[in-house]
Amino acid sequence: MWDLWNHCVHSNPDDHLCDVSKVSDLAARVIKEIEYDITAENENIEALLSRCEAYLQVKTSADVTTFISESKKVILSENHVPISDDNLHRNMRISRKLKQTGSLNGIAMCGLGF
């Protein structure tokens, strides 16, 4: 899951020459706005996105809405790998969460049609 966190939150997720990943400006604003505590929740993309969705139930935020949308695009693009025993549970859990929020809308993910 950290790889998904890396690609959703950091502005330089594929920069392997850099020792420190840089949090994108949008992610930093969202984390601050929704008061997500990385030290308590760790770098957990599911927890962050769930917190974002809950936040939008009571408040309106263009940044949070954009972050969710962009993160879901990343998750869909990062989860095109073939299913293996190692990643089956993770992919199914993420797929289920995205489907529950109506985000998949018929998109096939990992060869599974919804």
Task: List pLDDT tens digits, range 79-89.
Answer: 644 445 555 55
Q: What is the DSSP string of the chain?
A: -HHHHHHHHBS-TT-TT-SSPPBPHHHHHHHHHTT--HHHH-S-HHHHHHHHHHHHHH---HHHHHHHHHHHHHHHHHT-SPP-HHHHHHHHHHHHHHHHTT--TT--BTTB--
Task: Give every CB contact of residue 100 below 8 A, 6+ residues apart in sequence.
Answer: none
Task: List pLDDT tens digits, range 37-76.
Answer: 988 888 888 999 999 999 999 999 999 999 999 998 888 8
Local confidence band at 114 (pLDDT 50, 70, 90 cut-offs) = very low
The pTM for the full model equals 0.65
